[in-house]
Amino acid sequence: MKTTKKQLKKIIREEKYRLLREQEEVAPVDNNTHHWPRVEWTNVEELVDKWAKGEEDAFDKGDPSMTGDDDTSLSDAKKHWSDQVDNAAMDMEAELTKRVRQAALQTMQEFTDKLINGDYA
């Protein structure tokens, strides 16, 4: 069975995401008296895919940042741009997942502190 480049990139993205999740799970929590819940950030992948589609659709053959120095044809230039977008999307998905997780943990800590301080009494 032959794996396409797109399938391979998806496999790499999923594996990178899984590794990031595992790293977060073993990371120490500042307040060891609370264990906040975890959820899958499934919409991050959808958001990044939509962003990547928009970036690929924005291809402009006249924009030098979207074409490689040695791209001799329009199809080469589009391929070069698509590869750049794919690489950026993989990094963006990992970073968004990390930042969403950090924001969620920070918010849960904030509300735990408010509960402990009696703000909701």
Q: Which domain holds residue 97?
A: 43-50+90-121
Provide the pLDDT for residue 88. Answer: 92
Give residues with Cβ within 8 angstroms of 41, minimum separation 6.
96, 97, 100, 101
Query: Do residues 61 and 74 make contact, with C-beta atoms less than 8 angstroms apart?
Result: yes
Report if residue 117 sits inside a domain: yes
Report if residue 110 sits inside a domain: yes
Pick out the chain residues at pLDDT < 50: 26
Report if residue 60 sits inside a domain: no
Q: Which of 89, 92, 71, 88 is nearest to 80 (CA)?
A: 71
Provide the number of structural domains found in the chain: 1
Provide the pLDDT for residue 70. Answer: 66
Whole-model pTM? 0.65
Report if residue 106 sits inside a domain: yes
